[in-house]
Every structure is written in C-alpha cells, then in structure tokens.
Amino acid sequence: MNKTGKIEVICGCMFSGKTEELIRRIRRAQIAKMSVIVFKPKVDSRYSITQIVSHNKIKIDSQCITSSNDILNYSTEYDVFGIDEAQFFDKNIINICKKLANIGKRVIIAGLDKDYKSEPFGFMPQLMCEADYLVKLRAICVKCGNSASYTKRTTKEIDQVVIGELDKYQALCRNCYNNL
C-alpha cells in the first residue's frame, strides 16, 4: 500500500484550543522523525513572528508568510505542513493544500470557522470541504460555562480582521450569543 497524503482541518471559535491541537500534532510528527514545517500569515503577529504560540503559551517555530504561494517553495523538503490562522490566507490556499496532499504530504490546517458576526471566515469552508479529517473544537462559554462555538467581539470595531485576544474577544455558547 502506498503512503497517501492527507488534509486535516482543526476549526472552532477563539479560545477553543486550535493552535494547541495543531502544536500537539506537529510535536507527535517530530517524535515520529518526520520533517515538519509550520506557517502562519503575516497579519497575525501577536506574541511572536517566528513561532506560533497557543493561548496557554506553548510554542513551536513557524514561518511567517504574506502569500499562500510561499508554502510551495518548501514542498519538496518536508513531510508535514502545519498552517495556523488559515482563515487569513488568500484563496490560493485551497489549491496549495490539495497539491501538497496529492504529492503525499500531510497538511494540518488550524483556523477560525466563523468570524465575530458568526459568518464563515475566509476560505475555511472550502478547506473544511477538502479535509480528509475534520475536527471542530469548542471553547467554554465565559457567561455560563457551557461549551462555546461563538466568538463575540467586546470592542466596537467593525472590520472582519481585528487582532486581539481576551482583551477583545469572548467565547460564548449559542444561548448566550443569541441573548446579546
């Protein structure tokens, strides 16, 4: 049986542990002696530009890139490709992930499925559609403690992309989000 490539998508709202899960999978691939590389889009420079960092401060080295095309410059050298904050990448990210999987690579994508207005974010819907494996993680609602799938922005900014953490966003369950 030939080794086959695959696309794994880890999605969910903010504070649901997507980056932590991405890092966990990348670490396991490293233990298995696979060569790994992780990318993140330049828009997101919180904490560090050469590492991805989960909310609980676990870190892993990453390449900060401006265009999804930059990923292809590395396609022959690595076995496993991690992509964090995938909702911020251009449309080309879909074809790049497919190309990598088609040549036998493992692609692990983490990203927000929805924005603060609960609309689909970037090209995450298409990436979820292309996934061989898909998980949707949930956070904990800060109001009531139920599992949360919604991200609420706590500031008045209206752009889709506003970089922030607990200072600007909260995870809420369906009831608490709808009762706003």
Q: Which residues bind Zn ion (CB under 5 A)?
A: 141, 143-144, 146, 173, 176
Give how far Cα 45 sits from Cα of 29, 41, 49, 61, 166, Å.
25, 8, 5, 13, 16
Q: Kindly state the smallest distance separating residue 143's Cβ from Zn ion, in Å.
A: 4
Estimate the share of the chain in helix, then strand, then coil, as percent rounded to the nearest 5: 25, 30, 45
Please confirm, yes or no, whether 77 is among the known catalytic residues: no
Minimum Å gap between C-beta 139 and Zn ion is 10
**Which is catalytic among the residues 85, 130, 157, 165?**
85
> How far apart are CB 121 and Zn ion at their closest, in Å?
21
Is-contact 130 86, C-beta < 8 A?
no
Complex with Zn ion: residue 94 or 139, whichever CB lies closer: 139
68 vs 121: CA distance, rounded Å: 16
Q: Is the dihedral of CA 121, 123, 129, 133 positive or negative?
A: negative
Nearer to Zn ion, 104 or 145 (CB): 145
Annotated catalytic residues are 85
